[in-house]
C-alpha cells in the first residue's frame, strides 16, 4: 500500500505541469494554432518563478510573474505566426531552442544551487484519509488546486460560452468567424497568449512544486509531450486530464522501478515516449476531430 501511495503521489505531482500546459495548448489548438514553442513557454515560466522566489518576493508574485513572462514570450509566436503569417512550425521551433538556451545562460551566470521554499500543502480534512489515493488527490500544493479550477474553467469555456464557440469556430472555419464581425487573428492571438500564460504556470509548478529548484533544461521535452497529450485527448479537457495523468504515472513508475531494479534508467526514461508513439499510431484509425486550420 505504501508503494502504491508513493507512486500515486509522485504521479499527481508530475501530472500538474503537464496538465496546466495542456490546457493552454488545447485553447491554442482549438483556435487553429499549434505551439511547437511550448517548451520555451514552460521554460520561461519555470525560470521566472525560480528567479522571483529566490529573490525573496514570495510564492504569489512568482506565480503571477511566471504567467506574465511566458505570455510575453508567446506574444512572439502570435506576432510571427498569426499577424505576419510566418511558418508556425519554424517560429515555434525558434522559441523551442532560444528560450531554454537563454534561461540556461542566465542561470549559469548566477551560478548557484538555491532550492525554492517548500510550498504549503492544502488538504481536504476527511477525504485526505481515503486509503491509497487520499493524500495524492486531497493533500497537495497550490498548483494542484489551481489546475483543478482551470480544468473546470476551460471545460465550461468550450461547453457553455459564446467565447468558446468562437474559438472553436476560428480553428475550423475562420472565414465564418470573420463574416460574423470578429477578426480571427484577434481570437488566435488571445488564444496563444492564454496558452503562454498557462504553460508558464506549468513551468512554475515544475520548478516550485514538482522539483523544488531550477536546473538547466528542466522542462526536458515535456512541451512536445504536452502537444501529443492534446492530440491524443481529442482536443478535450477530459482527454487532456487522462493523457497528463497517464504520462505522469509512467514517469512515477519509472522512478520507483529504477530504485528497485537493475533496468537501465535510460531505457525507463524512453517509456513515456514509446507509449506516446504507440498511442499516436493507434489514434490515426480514429475519426479525427482536429481543428481544420491545424492541417493547413
- Residue 140, beta-bridge partner list: 122
Average pLDDT estimate for 20-26: 97
pLDDT value at position 154?
97
Kindly state the cell numbers that stand for 129. 484519509
* CA 76 distance to own-chain centroid: 18
Hey, which residues does 139 pair with through a beta bridge?
123
CB neighbours of residue 205 within 10 Å: 33
In this structure, whether the domain defined by 2-295 belongs to CATH 1.10.150 is answered with: no
State the DSSP string of the chain. Answer: -HHHHHHHHHHHHHHHHHHHHHHHHHHHHHTT---TTHHHHHHHHHHHHHHHHHTT--HHHHHHHHHHHHHHHHHHHIIIIIIS---HHHHHHHHHHHHHHHHHHHHHHH---PBPPPPPPEE-TTGGGSTTTHHHHHEE-HHHHHHHHHHHHHHHHHHH-HHHHHHHHHHH-HHHHHHTT--HHHHHHHHHHHHHHHHHHHHHIIIIIIISB--TT-STTHHHHHHHHHHHTTT-HHHHHHHHHHHHHHHHHHHHHHHHS-S-HHHHHTHHHHHHHHHHHHHTTSPP---GGGG-
Cell matching residue 196:
503562454
pLDDT in tens, 78-97: 999 999 988 888 999 999 99
Each residue's pLDDT tens digit, 137-192: 899 999 999 999 999 999 999 999 999 999 999 999 999 889 888 999 999 999 99
Confidence label for 118 from pLDDT (cuts 50, 70 and 90): confident
The pLDDT value recorded for residue 102 is: 93
pLDDT at 101: 92
Place of cell 513551468: 203
- How far is Cα 268 from Cα 288, in angstroms, rounded to an integer? 31
pLDDT for res 181:
87
Cα–Cα distance for residue pair 202/223, rounded to 1 Å: 10
All three cell numbers of 287, joined, read 475519426
Note the pLDDT tens digit of each residue in 256-287: 665 555 566 666 666 666 766 776 666 565 55
Span 219-239, average pLDDT: 90
Burial class (CB in 10 A: 0-12, 13-18, 19+), 187: buried
pLDDT at 150: 97
Q: Residue 108, exposed/middle/buried by CB under 10 A (0-12, 13-18, 19+)?
A: exposed
Non-local (6+) Cβ contacts of 200 within 8 A are 41, 42, 44, 45, 48, 66, 67, 68, 69, 70, 71
Percentage of the chain lying above the pLDDT 70 cut: 86
Q: Considering only CA atoms, which of 233, 237, 229 is closest in space to residue 153?
A: 237
Q: What are the extents of the domains in the chain?
A: 2-295
Task: Please check whether residue 214 is in contact with residue 111, taking contact to mean a CB–CB distance below 8 angstroms.
Answer: no
Amino acid at each position: 500500500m505504501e508503494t502504491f501511495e508513493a507512486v500515486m503521489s509522485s504521479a499527481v505531482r508530475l501530472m500538474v505541469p503537464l496538465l496546466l500546459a495542456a490546457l493552454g495548448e488545447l485553447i491554442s489548438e482549438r483556435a487553429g494554432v499549434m505551439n511547437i514553442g511550448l517548451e520555451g513557454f514552460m521554460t520561461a515560466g519555470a525560470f521566472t518563478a525560480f528567479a522571483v522566489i529566490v529573490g525573496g518576493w514570495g510564492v504569489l508574485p512568482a506565480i503571477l510573474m511566471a504567467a506574465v513572462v511566458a505570455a510575453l514570450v508567446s506574444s512572439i509566436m502570435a506576432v510571427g505566426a498569426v499577424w505576419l503569417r510566418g511558418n508556425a512550425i519554424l517560429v515555434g521551433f525558434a522559441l523551442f531552442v532560444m528560450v531554454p538556451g537563454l534561461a540556461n545562460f542566465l542561470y549559469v551566470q548566477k551560478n548557484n544551487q538555491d532550492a525554492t521554499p517548500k510550498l504549503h500543502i492544502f488538504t481536504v480534512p476527511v477525504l485526505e484519509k481515503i486509503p491509497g489515493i487520499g493524500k495524492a488527490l486531497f493533500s497537495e500544493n497550490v498548483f494542484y488546486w489551481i489546475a483543478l479550477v482551470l480544468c473546470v474553467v476551460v471545460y465550461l469555456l468550450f461547453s457553455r460560452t459564446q467565447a468558446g464557440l468562437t474559438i472553436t469556430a476560428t480553428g475550423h472555419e475562420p472565414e465564418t468567424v470573420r463574416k460574423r464581425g470578429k477578426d480571427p487573428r484577434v481570437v488566435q492571438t488571445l488564444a496563444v497568449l492564454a496558452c503562454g500564460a498557462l504553460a508558464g504556470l506549468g513551468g512554475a509548478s515544475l520548478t516550485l512544486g514538482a522539483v523544488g529548484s531550477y536546473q538547466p533544461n528542466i522542462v526536458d521535452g515535456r512541451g512536445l509531450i504536452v502537444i501529443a497529450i492534446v492530440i491524443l485527448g481529442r482536443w478535450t479537457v477530459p482527454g487532456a486530464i487522462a493523457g497528463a495523468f497517464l504520462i505522469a504515472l509512467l514517469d512515477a513508475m519509472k522512478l520507483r522501478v529504477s530504485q528497485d531494479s537493475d533496468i537501465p534508467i535510460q531505457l525507463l526514461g524512453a517509456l513515456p515516449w514509446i507509449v506516446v508513439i504507440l498511442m499516436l499510431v493507434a489514434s490515426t484509425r480514429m475519426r479525427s476531430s482536429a481543428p481544420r486550420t491545424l492541417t493547413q
